[in-house]
A and B are shown apart, each in its own frame.
Chain A
Amino acid sequence: MSTKAAPVTNAFSVEEIRAQFPILKELIHGKPLVYFDNAATSQKPRRVIKAESAYYATINANVHRGVHTLSTKATEAQEAAREIIRRHINAKHVHEVIFTSGTTASMNLAAFSLGQLLLKKGDEVLISGMEHHANIVPWQMACERHGAKLKVIPVTDSGEWDLKPQRRSDATDSATSFSAERTRILAISHVSNTLGTINPVKKLIAEAKKLGIITVVDGAQAIAHLDIDVQDLGCDLYAFSGHKAYGPTGTGVLYGREELLERMPPWQGGGEMIDTVTFEKTTYAKLPFKFEAGTPHIAGIIGLGEAIRWMEDYDKASMAAHEHILLEHATKELLTVDGLRIIGTAKNKVGVISFVIEGVHHYDLGTLLDQQGIAVRTGHHCTQPLMERFSVSGTTRASFACFNTVEEVEVMVGATRKAVKMLR
Chain B
Amino acid sequence: MPSSQLTQTQQELVSEFAMFSDWQDRYEHLIELGKDLPLIAPEHKTDDNLVRGCQSRVWLHAAPQNGNIHFTADSDAMITKGIVALLVRVYNDRTPQEIIGASTEFIDQIGLRAHLSPNRSNGLVAMLDQMKRYAVAFSSSTNAS
Contacts and interface: CB of A to CB of B under 8 A. Distances in A.
Contacts of B55: 362-363, 378-379, 394
Interface stretch (B74-82, B97-105, B135-143): B74-82
Interface residues of A, number: 17
A199 to B, nearest CB: 28
A367 B23 contact: no
A370 to B, nearest CB: 8
A18 interface: no
A361 B31 contact: no
Given A363-B56, A363-B121, A394-B55, A422 B24 contact: yes
Nearest to B75: A361
Interface on chain B toward A: helix, strand, loop, or mixed SS? helix
A368 B23 CA distance: 9
Interface in B54-79: 55-57, 76-79
B107 to A, nearest CB: 15
A375 to B, nearest CB: 13
B27 A363 contact: no
B28 interface: yes
Contact of A422 (B31, B76, B121): B31
Interface of B: 23-24, 27-28, 31, 55-57, 76-80, 114, 121
28 contacts: A361-B56, A361-B76, A361-B78, A362-B55, A363-B55, A363-B77, A363-B79, A363-B80, A363-B121, A364-B56, A364-B77, A364-B79, A364-B80, A366-B121, A367-B27, A368-B27, A371-B24, A378-B55, A378-B121, A379-B55, A393-B57, A393-B76, A418-B24, A422-B24, A422-B27, A422-B28, A422-B31, A423-B78
Nearest to A31: B23
A65 interface: no
A379 B70 CA distance: 31
A361 B77 contact: yes
Contacts of B76: 361, 393
A29 B23 contact: yes
